[in-house]
Amino acid sequence: MNMPIRVAHIMGKLWAGGVEMVVFNYYRAIDKRKIQFDFFYDSDSTVEPPKDLIEMGARFYKIPPYQNIFIYLKSLSYYFKKNKYKIVHSHINTLSVFPLFVAWYQNIPIRIAHNHSVPGGNELIRNLLKYFLKFFAKIFPTHYFACSEKSGRWLFGNSEFDSGNVCVLKNSIDFSKFRYDQKRRCELIEKYDLGDKFVVCHVGRFTFAKNHKRLIEIFSKLVKKIPQAILFLVGDGELHKDILDQINKLKLNNNVICVGQVTNPFIYYSIANVVVLPSLFEGLSLVTIESQAAGVPVAVSEFIPNEAIISNGVKQILLSDCDDVWVEEIINISKLVVTLDDRANKYDVNSSSKFLAGWYLEHYKK
């Protein structure tokens, strides 16, 4: 029996974020008799590799963080040479230039730059770095992937996209995970003593892009209309203290529950009346897709790409609109019964993983 092809996936930092969840979803669904994944992740990651993936045959390599660039490159060079990869698939956006440089230097024939993000907001230094590295984005990869048209056009350019040189691989999910679970809902309602309270949910890292500051401001206005409203914040990150300070300042301690960083954030959709995502920028927004799959309406900013809308249950609201407009729209959309449409089929991880496996096999044979 032929051994499966080992594909090196460059993940950056593991922090229970959307990108790693997507790639892990692909691995869980892919035919592991033909394809196996090796994951490379930074040593300063905040979560450990999932045990179920290891049991399926995945290998995880902890390497120095990319901030220590020379040690990082040396470590990757060692493993690339040792394991004799034919395919390196990098998911760290503009930073992919570094691992793909190593892959080029090691003469690895298939080098994939996969973009999951776009610049946005007023993160001046970070955005300047993205635009600087963008100049090198097409030097070392042999193939271009993106999670959406928007992210593909931004990093690789309109001409490459229009020429069909960018493969758009949707951030897919396992829809079976998001089916309504009455038992799970009852357990969480009892655990948090929710009764019939109005539950708002936000899933995402505590980072600038997710715009928690505005979310808390909007929620404080919502509480004035619905005093028993509860906000669940699922996630963690570098802005954790700032967000807690804001909650304390607005005297919302009894109305906000910080769940923290969890490996099963999807269970909280079962208790939500509505999900609210006032993001400043997004490559796609996996949470928007997951919310709809779980039957939960979602209020989003205009920076959530239209590609993430797969039902009647999404309301895009301008960030320039006042908080009162957001509150009104949140209340209105929470009454909707969400119905998925045909666009949802594009995000089924089973079909997407078959496509990815076929892509790997076809290019490997070449």
For residue 18, give its domain range: 5-172+348-365
Do 12 and 91 have their domain in common? yes
Do 297 and 188 have their domain in common? yes
Q: For 95-120, what is each residue's pLDDT tens digit?
A: 999 999 999 999 999 999 999 988 87
Do 9 and 55 have their domain in common? yes
Task: Give percent of the chain above pLDDT 70.
Answer: 99
Question: What is the total residue count of the chain?
Answer: 366
Backbone Cα Rg of the chain: 21
Residue 106 Ramachandran class (φ > 0 left, ψ -120 to 50 alpha, else beta): alpha
Do 336 and 352 have their domain in common? no
**Residues 61-77: what's their mean pLDDT?**
97
Do 23 and 52 have their domain in common? yes
Do 356 and 328 have their domain in common? no
Q: For 333-362, what is each residue's pLDDT tens digit?
A: 999 999 999 999 999 999 999 999 999 999
Q: For 263-279, what is each residue's pLDDT tens digit?
A: 888 899 999 999 999 99
Residue 291: CATH number of its domain: 3.40.50.2000
User: What are the Cα distances from residue 143, in Å, to 6, 109, 339?
Assistant: 18, 10, 36
Q: For 118-153, what is each residue's pLDDT tens digit?
A: 887 666 777 888 899 999 999 999 999 999 999 999
Q: For 181-217, what is each residue's pLDDT tens digit?
A: 899 999 999 999 999 999 999 999 999 999 999 999 9
Do 36 and 14 have their domain in common? yes
Q: What integer pLDDT is reported at residue 121 of this predicted model?
A: 62
Do 315 and 203 have their domain in common? yes
Do 15 and 84 have their domain in common? yes
Angle at 115 between CA 355 and CA 285, to 5 degrees: 85
Do 195 and 157 have their domain in common? no
Do 118 and 222 have their domain in common? no
Q: What integer pLDDT is reported at residue 122 of this predicted model?
A: 61
The domain tally of the chain equals: 2
| Arithmetic mean of pLDDT over the chain | 95
Do 64 and 78 have their domain in common? yes
